[in-house]
Structure 1
Amino acid sequence: MNYKLYSDVILLCNLPEEGLYADDIGTVVKQHHLEGLETGYRVELFDLLGNIVAVATLPGTYLRSSTRADKPTVSLVN
């Protein structure tokens, strides 16, 4: 999948070392193309108040596009 800049994406897997979990919502802010490797994306992830909680560079296979069926969920972050 090729994600456009500033598109919303949903994280598909848990990355607890980064404080990120499946179903977290983010915005693509940069694409990384390296010949012979999967395209990577710099993603900013936000809380429900619009504060950035993480910035991560992730392979496209860790992400999916958001759909009309998606609803925000809440995870308590300590």
Structure 2
Amino acid sequence: MFDRAAGVYLDGDGRALAPLAAVTFHRRMQLGSSSPKLVAQTPGGTYVLLRGNPFTGGLSDLDAVLRTAVHGGSR
């Protein structure tokens, strides 16, 4: 979860993983698939947000939309 008010990226249990300023979003290739996955990169590790599927249209521009929503288009 991206808590913009507190400025932190949280895991499913509500624990802070990283400040939002340190989180970047990237497309990475998946083994055995022609579609990329969307990941959040933090100083502590990489977290898969979504695995793309060529049969459902892939990721489209989700990485740019998420980047703008979290960082306000500053990255």
Larger helix proportion, structure 1 or 2? 2
* TM-score normalized by the length of structure 2: 0.32
